[in-house]
Amino acid sequence: MSIEPTPSGPTNSPSQGQESYKSASVMIARIVGILCVAGGFILGIQGLEQPDSPLLPTALGMIVVGVIAQVFALGRSWYLYSQRNS
């Protein structure tokens, strides 16, 4: 009866490392989306108080970028989910 030693560290296969990288990209996109939308609303409020400043167009651009980042994160997470379950 022989007992074989098992590795003491976590066994990360290449697919696990790649999967965590892909889910990290989703989290980064979501964080960027949330920050851009929140910053856009804050700048938009300032832009409404100062009508001649360029803050309002900048705020609208930030909101659009935030929404695009959120849509990217949604599409990416849907794609990863479909790959995981196939």
Q: Going residue by residue through the chain (86 aa), what tens digit of pLDDT does each one get?
A: 556 555 555 555 556 666 677 788 899 999 999 999 999 999 999 999 988 899 999 999 999 999 999 999 999 999 988 988 87
Contacts from 12-17 at CB under 8 Å and sequence distance 24+? none
**What pLDDT score does 12 carry?**
53
Residue 16 confidence (pLDDT): 62
The per-residue pLDDT for 86 is 79
Q: Which amino acid is at 27?
A: M
pLDDT of residue 11: 54
Does the predicted model carry a pTM greater than 0.85? Answer: no
How far apart CA 67 and CA 64 sit, in angstroms, is: 5
DSSP state of 33: H
